[in-house]
Structure 1
């Protein structure tokens, strides 16, 4: 089979849902929600562009389940049905032309910028590494009742996602957010029902899945994005990840997307990544996490996806034909070339090339946060109906971001004048 014919094959999930091709748009942060967490017309326009661009399965950027716990400004938040109309408009556009669109549900835990929320909470009060503590506060340890309440928040949000007309949900269990924190012995030092052993650290994600399933029923797809490892000393290991994959598969999860890393070890960006291929034979296979996927495939039959590193249709098709994965995830290319699936499915190469976004300032580039800002800016352009800027300077984006942050801080410090009633 030709590479494009491999990618064009439909994929039937075990719940009976069929995805029209093997291309998955992995989650990227759009930051296009309103201050109170509602979806916007810009989000609708962005996801309509992706649906019309030929993607088979589109995963939204992280949608938070608690307005008090946002991961960044502009997050959409689903706590109740107050913004159901906006969600329905978003879902309708995102599912055009037979596209599946799943909402990625998330809670940041400790991984929320300092000052964004009134407080940060996490499984345990473990601070960030010293050079990042100026950006992230040390979290407060969640109480047992609060953990149970968070499980229900995920379930409630999943039910609203289904009611809005989206095709499924994805649990964000990767990249150092709350679910990932519960799984990691580095970030979860609890000794109660939620931590202390690998089995207890998995308890939270399994409870979230089971609570969601009870609300949405057996036919509505639930997937997860899961770290292959944290790539931090003392963190979540490949062995623990494989055990988590087995547990989720046994519970009935419909799709597992494999990634890796956290804000402290941002291997998912490929910049200085320990997951990036080092052997030439491995590098030719393109994907960062394909070797772990091969191990996971031996453990489960649940459909698997790998996101990160794919550059060509040939590399994507080889990953699928190897049997290690059932779909391939692409993300950053979709932010600069939203209709790239149509080109790949037609046997044509992408017009754009994904390259590391850097400023040339090592202390900034090492944090990995510039990548998020740069690509978020591209998504906002698509949302406004504008053309993307694939060659935009990373240093320029950082300078603009620093200026706006300084301006916002100045406004915040400005005293408020008293007015007579």
Structure 2
């Protein structure tokens, strides 16, 4: 069997069909109460029809008081469990699994979105991004323990709703990632200082989630290969986190990289072979559990080469699935595919310089697919910008993050 079609047995005993998965993308399809809108079920059913084995949701926030962007879905109690169940059922057809990505933004939340911003330490966001994010309050030990419990409670709710697994988002500069980073975590207690202390919150949260859902329910972690900023999480420390997660019994470690200071998950490096494939190969040798890698895989031949070379056990796809929901199915069927086009420039200097339009366009593509509308990366991008602003509103568009 070609590697891309081969099944993968996870440590918990669950089998994934095929070696492709959808990495998390922000859909912005939560309603005003944080419930998943019906469009999410339709969108995930569309992806499931392609035959892909695993779909990881976009950010699902563990608390209404800790949002990362407008349109976030929130899973903190059972008020909207029926809507979550519909999403799970519609996305899990013909062997496809849907895992809920659980997240807390920490200080990486736009100003004015939350009543209060919290983080490991009361440090403002460095550089120009400091204008977009409020200076946080440092969490107390008791609050840190409570947040581990909050992640666990949300994981249990996802299990009750019928999803196939959960993923803890410890990448891209969100709260779990902030604790790992010496750039953002300067605490002097047992949650800061040494690398062992800085990864304590992640490991305690993983243990709490595992206790809440049991040994047979998949629990994954998304982790940066590096933060790619001075003083951030290094590759050497990240490999130690990989090793400890493997020892803790993580079912799948997904490798990405970068933060909103330097969004390598979007900009990448070594794009021909995937942005983080070299690191994921090193991580796979240490982990003792399956490793997936996401970022820069827009070419079917590159996907197959990465699997053949042992770069990862699974390859994550993001924006190719926003352009073509059947992209994974075509790769699985062995089709020869042209490299997918990316949206062009709008011609509006401020928009094109900011780098935000690419994200806004792909989020709009997800909404269009959920409504059965066509998506064309060769469309007039100035007209596309007007359409997006009319749909989301100017203020909501300005609050969207860059990846």
For Structure 1 versus Structure 2, the TM-score category normalised by the shorter chain is: over 0.9
Contact 1:289 1:306 in 2 (8 A): yes
Q: What CA deviation, in whole Å up to 9, does each residue of 1:54-113 have, x standing for no partner?
A: 211110001000101111111110101111100000000110111011100001111111
Contact 2:344 2:378 in 1 (8 A): no
Give the one of 178, 193, 200 matched to 2:190: 193
Give the one of 329, 333, 340 matched to 2:320: 333
Give the one of 91, 94, 97 matched to 2:91: 94
Distance 1:232 1:98, change over 3 A: same
Aligned counterpart, 1:305: 292
- Taking the aligned partners of 2:55 and 2:320, their CA distance within structure 1 comes to 13
Give the one of 250, 253, 258 matched to 1:253: 250
Displacement of 1:367: 4.8
TM-score (structure 1 length as normaliser): 0.89
Aligned counterpart, 2:31: 34
Provide the secondary structure at the position in 1 that maps to 2:293.
strand
Distance 1:357 1:150, change over 3 A: farther
Aligned counterpart, 1:82: 79
TM-score (structure 2 length as normaliser): 0.93
Contact 2:284 2:312 in 1 (8 A): yes
1:347 equivalenced with 2:344 (yes/no) = no
Contact 1:357 1:374 in 2 (8 A): no
Distance 1:327 1:145, change over 3 A: same
Aligned counterpart, 1:376: 363
Displacement of 1:295: 1.4
Q: Within 5 A, what are the aligned runs for 1:55-74? A: 55-74=52-71
- Taking the aligned partners of 1:122 and 1:376, their CA distance within structure 2 comes to 27
Displacement of 1:363: 6.2
- Taking the aligned partners of 1:155 and 1:111, their CA distance within structure 2 comes to 21
Distance 1:174 1:361, change over 3 A: farther
Q: Within 5 A, what are the aligned runs for 1:121-132? A: 121-132=118-129
Q: Within 5 A, what are the aligned runs for 1:133-144? A: 133-144=130-141
- Taking the aligned partners of 1:357 and 1:263, their CA distance within structure 2 comes to 22
Aligned counterpart, 2:41: 44
Aligned counterpart, 1:413: none
Aligned counterpart, 2:400: none
Provide the secondary structure at the position in 2 that maps to 1:264.
coil
Provide the secondary structure at the position in 2 that maps to 1:148.
helix
Unaligned runs of 5+ in 2: 398-403
Aligned counterpart, 1:207: 204
Provide the secondary structure at the position in 2 that maps to 1:86.
helix
| C-alpha RMSD over aligned residues | 2.1
- Taking the aligned partners of 1:253 and 1:300, their CA distance within structure 2 comes to 9
Give the one of 213, 217, 220 matched to 1:220: 217
1:156 equivalenced with 2:153 (yes/no) = yes
Q: Within 5 A, what are the aligned runs for 1:354-365? A: 354-355=341-342, 358-359=345-346, 364-365=351-352
Deviates more, 1:119-128 or 1:48-57: 119-128
Distance 1:396 1:266, change over 3 A: farther
Displacement of 1:342: 1.7
- Taking the aligned partners of 1:229 and 1:304, their CA distance within structure 2 comes to 16
Give the one of 112, 128, 134 matched to 2:109: 112
Displacement of 1:188: 0.8
Contact 2:343 2:381 in 1 (8 A): no
Deviates more, 1:5-14 or 1:181-190: 5-14
1:292 equivalenced with 2:279 (yes/no) = yes
